[in-house]
Structure 1
Amino acid sequence: MPDARAARCITRRFAYGAVAAVMAMACAQFAPAAFAVGGAPPVGVQPRAPSPGHPPPAARTDRSEGTTASGPVRAQPPRMPFYVATKGQTTLYLLGTLHVGYPGDYPPEQPFRKPILAALDASPTLALEISPDDLLYSQEDVTRYGVCRSECLLDYLPDSMWKKLEARLRTNPAALKEIRRTRPWLASMLVETYDTLKAGFQSEYGSEAQLQNVYLRANGKIVGLETLNEQIATFTRLSSAQQREMLAQDLVQTPAENVADVKELHRLWRIGDADALKAWDDAKTDKLARSKALAASVDNRVVYDRNRRFVTRMLQLAVPNKPVFVAIGALHLGGRRGVLELLRRHGFVVVPG
C-alpha cells in the first residue's frame, strides 16, 4: 500500500482534478526529492479517521467573524466557487476545488465560509471525485498504465519535443531519468507538477483534504463520483497523438509563465466565479494548443465526458430532504458544458451559495 503522504501529492490541471488518483501515487515514485512538499498540516487539523496512536480530530472551532477587543482581524476564507442546486426537495451543494493551495486559503479558526460549513453540516453525504479509499490503493495502477520497463517516452515523442523536454529538466537529472520511462500523458502531468510546486503551493492545503478535516458528522459518509479505474482510463485511452498534444501544451511556455498562470487560476478560484474560471481556462487552452482538433478531443475526454458522468452519479445519490455535498475540480463547474449547466438541463435551479 502506498505511503499516506503519497496520497496527498500534486495533480495536473489541479482545478480540474482530472488525475487526483494518478498523481497521488506517481509523486512517491518519480524523484521524490523533486516533489517534496514542505510544511505540516494546519494547526489543529487532523485526519478525519486517525490511525491508532494518533490524536482524535480537533474539536470544531468558533466560526464567528470579526474582531475581538484585544485581537487582530481574523483571516477570512476565500469565496471559492460554491453553488446550491435544488429541484423540489432535492438539494445538491457544489464546491469547486483545488487540489493544492496556500495556508492562508483555509484559516484555522474558520477554514471555509459559513454557508459552506453550514452545507457540510446539513449533508449526510460528501461526494468527491474519487473516494479516499480508492486514492490510497492506486499506486499499482499508475505503475501498470503510466510507466514502462524501458525508456519508452523517447519512442513516443518526435526528436524536437524530446529535446525541449530535456532542456526543461536539465537542472533536475533525477526527474529526467525517471520521466524517460513514462508514457506521454503521465510525463505531461509530471511537468505541470514541477511548475505547480514552483508556485509555492502545498498539497496539504488542497480543498479535499481540508473538507474531510471538517466533515465530522458521526453518521456521514464520503463517496466517490467515479472509480479509480475510470479516472485512469480517461488518460490511458487517449491516442498517442492526444497524449503528445497534452505534453506539447505544457512545454509551450517557460516555467515562469506557467507559474504565473497557476497563480492567476488560484486568484480567480478565490473570487469564486465558476464561469469566469472556465472562460479563462478556455482562453489559455486556445493559446497553448498545438492542434485545435487534438486539444478539443482531449478536453472532450478529460473534461466533458467526465462532467456528464459526475452529474449522472450525483443524480443517483440525490434523495429528497437529504442534501449531498459535492466537491469536484473547480473547472468542471462553469461554462455551457459544465456541471452547473447540465444540472439546469435536468430541471435544477442553480444559484451561487
Structure 2
Amino acid sequence: MPEAVAARRLARRLRDGGRRAALAWRWRARALTGAALIGVCCIFFFGLEPLGVAHAAGAAANTPAQAGRPAVPVPGVPAQPRANLPGPNPPPATPGTTAGGPVRAQPARMPFYVATRGATTIYVLGTLHVGDPADYPADQPFRAPILAALAASPTLALELSPDELLVSQDDVSKYGVCRHDCLPRLLTDPLWHKLALRLRGNPAALEAIKKMRPWLASLVVETYDSLSAGLQTEYGTEAQLQNVYLKTRGKIVGLETLPQQMHAFTGLSLAQQREMLAQDLVQTAAQNVADVRALHRLWQVGDADAIAAWQAAKSENLARDKRISDSIDNRIVYERNRRFVSRMLQLAAPNKPLFVAIGALHLGGPKGVLQVLRQHGFVVEAG
C-alpha cells in the first residue's frame, strides 16, 4: 500500500477516534517565518486548532531550534491538548485607549529591505509563518513603505508557488510517513524515550508520530511549541500579504520547486535527522515557547541582522554535534538562500520591481539573502 494512502488512513482513524483532523488549504507562512510546504505553507486544523507546520516548517514556522526551515504540512497529527500547553493563551489583541480616545493600532515593523542595482529593484520582506492579530491592524496591515512596494510590484515571489503548495501534502506523506511504526527504531533509545516523555500528555500524538521519519517528527514538535506560544497560523505574514496583494494583483510565483524543498529534508542523513529532533528536545517545552515569543518580538522590531545574531547564539546552545548541526544549516538554510537569490535574479527586470517574501531567518547574517544580494552587486537598505 502506498505510504500516502497509509497516511490518509491513519488520519481517518484518528478522526474516527474522536480526534478531528479536518484539513484546509490556504496560503500562509518556519517556523515561525514564512509560508510554504516547507516555506509558504498549508494550514492544517487539528481539532479546532489551526497549525501551520516548519519553511519548514514550524508550526515549524522558523522556530528558534530550526532556523529557516520551511513550514511543512503534517498529516494526521492530533492537536496538543490545551490543558497540557505551557503558559496561558493570550487573549485577542484590543486597541488601547488614552484620555484622548482610542490609540491607533500600528502594524509590526517587520524586516523589510530594498535592494537596487541600476534600474532593477527587489523588495525583500522577512516573514513569520505564525503571528498575532495585533501584528496586522485591519485598517493598515503593513507599514506604508511595504504597501507601496506591493502596489509597485507586478510579481510577488514566495518560497513556494500556490500550485505546488496545493499538492504538497501528498509528498510530505510519501516521504515523511512510514507504513509502520518506524520512528522508535530510527532513533537512539535515549532520544526516543525523551520524545515519548515530551508527548506523554498526548497519547494520540505519540501514536501518530511513531509513523514519522525523524525530520518530520522534528517539525511536529516545533509546531506544538509554536502553537503553545499563542501565535496563530492565519496571522502568518504570507496569508496577510495575499489579502492585500490579490485585491489588485494576481501573479504569485515560487522561488523553489516542491521537489527542491522536499529534497532539503529527504536528502538528510539519519544522523542529521536525529540531530534536528535532538535540538528540539534540549530545552523544556516552556523554554522553547519562550524562544518562539522572543523571536516574534525581534521580528516585530524588524532588524534582520539582530535576528540572525540571536539565532546563531541559539544554534550554538542547542547543537548536540556542532559539525552535524552546521551541515544541516548549510543544507536547509544557506543552500536555499543562494537558490532564492538565483531565482530572484531570473525574475527581476529593470523598471519591473520584484516583491519577495521569505522567512525572516533567511535574511540577515554573513550567509543571509541580503548579503548574497550584495555579492551580486545590489545596494541593500532598510525600507
Question: What's the TM-score, normalizing by structure 1?
Answer: 0.87
Q: Tell me whether 73-82 or 211-220 shows the greater mean CA deviation.
A: 211-220
| 8 Å Cα contact 2:218/2:280 also seen in 1 | yes
How far does residue 137 in structure 1 lie from its aligned partner after superposition?
A: 1.4
Superposed CA deviations along residues 220-244 of structure 1, whole A, max 9, x for unmatched, are 4000000111111100000000000
Q: Which has the higher contact order (CA 8 A, sep 6+)?
A: 1
Task: Tell me how far apart the structure 1 counterparts of residues 53 and 149 of structure 2 sit (CA, whole Å).
Answer: 27
Deviation string for 1:276-303 (max 9, x for gaps)? 0001001001001000000000000010
Letter of the 1:200 partner, please give it: G
Q: Which residue of 2 aligns with 1:244?
A: 274
Is residue 227 of structure 1 aligned with residue 257 of structure 2?
yes
Gaps of 5+ in 1: 43-66
Aligned to 2:165: 135
**Residue 217 of structure 1: CA displacement?**
5.5
Alpha-carbon distance in 1 for matches of 2:81, 2:352: 44
CA contact (8 A) 1:82 1:94 kept: yes
Does the alignment pair 1:10 with 2:61?
no
Displacement after TM superposition at 1:128 (Å) = 0.3
Q: Name the Cα RMSD after superposition.
A: 2.3
Q: Match of 1:344, as an amino acid?
A: R
Query: Do structure 1's residue 345 and structure 2's residue 380 form an aligned pair?
Result: no
Q: In the superposition, relative to structure 1, how do residues 178 and 75 fare at CA in structure 2: closer, same or farther (>3 Å)?
A: same
- Which residue of the partner structure matches residue 116 of structure 1? 146
Letter in 2 for 1:18: R
CA separation of 1:79 and 1:108: change in aligned 2, threshold 3 A: same
Q: CA deviation at 1:33?
A: 6.7
Seen in structure 2, the aligned counterparts of structure 1 residues 258 and 30 have a Cα distance that, compared at 3 Å, is same
The equivalent position to 1:29 in structure 2, one of 72, 76, 93, is 76
Counterpart selection for 1:253 from 279, 283, 287: 283
Tell me, what secondary structure is at the counterpart of 2:281? helix
| CA apart distance, 1:29 | 1.5
| Mean Cα deviation higher: 11-20 or 188-197 | 11-20
C-alpha deviations, 1:283-342, integer Å up to 9, x for none? 001001000000000000010000000000000001000000000000100000000000
Task: Return structure 1 stretches of 4+ with deviation > 4 angstroms.
Answer: 32-35, 67-71
Aligned residues: 322
Q: After superposition, what is the alpha-carbon deviation per residue over 1:51-91, rounded to whole angstroms, capped at 9, x for unaligned?
A: xxxxxxxxxxxxxxxx9998512100111000000000000
Q: Contact (CA 8 Å) 1:128, 1:328: kept in 2 or not?
A: yes
Task: Choose 272-281 or 215-224, whichever is displaced more.
Answer: 215-224
Following superposition, the deviation at residue 218 of structure 1 comes to 4.1
| Residues 68-124 of structure 1: per-residue CA shift (max 9 Å, x gap) | 998512100111000000000000000000000011010111100000000000000
| Equivalent runs, 1:88-127 vs 2, <5 Å | 88-127=118-157
- How far residue 133 of structure 1 moved from its aligned partner, in angstroms, is 2.1
Contact 2:53 2:219 in 1 (8 A): no
CA distance in 2, matches of 1:131, 1:332: 18
Q: Deviations over 1:117-168 (max 9, x none)?
A: 0000000000000012211211110111000001100111111111100000
1:292 corresponds to? 322
Q: Secondary structure at the match of 1:92?
A: strand
Q: 1:246 is matched by which residue type in structure 2?
A: M
Structure 2 equivalent of residue 280 of structure 1:
310
Judge conservation of contact 2:80–2:202 (CA < 8 Å) in 1: no
The question of whether the paired residues in 2 share the 8 Å contact of 1:10 and 1:100 is answered with no
Instruction: Encode CA deviations 1:254-280: one digit per residue, 9 max, x unaligned.
Output: 000000000000010000000000010
Counterpart in the other structure of 1:57: none
Residue 208 of structure 2 aligns with an amino acid whose one-letter code is E
**3-state SS in 2 of match to 1:328:** strand
Out of 339, 359, 362, the residue aligned to residue 329 of structure 1 is: 359
Aligned-partner residue type, residue 7 of structure 1:
C
Task: Report deviation, 1:219.
Answer: 4.7
- 1: distance between equivalents of 2:78 and 2:247? 38
Contact 2:184/2:192, CA 8 A, preserved across alignment? yes
Q: Counterpart of 1:3 in structure 2: which amino acid?
A: A
> Matched residue of 2:256: which SS?
coil
Partner amino acid for 1:350? V
Does residue 317 of structure 1 match 2:327?
no
Structure 1 residue aligned with 2:70: 19
Bigger shift: residues 220-229 or 276-285: 220-229
Give secondary structure in 2 for the equivalent of 1:225. Answer: strand
What SS does the aligned partner of 1:252 have? coil
Q: Distance in 2 between matches of 1:219 and 1:267?
A: 30
Conserved? CA contact 1:19–1:232, under 8 Å: no
In 2, Cα distance between the equivalents of 1:313 and 1:293? Answer: 29
State the match for 1:58 in structure 2: none
Q: Distance in 1 between matches of 2:158 and 2:297?
A: 23
Corresponding residue for 1:49? none
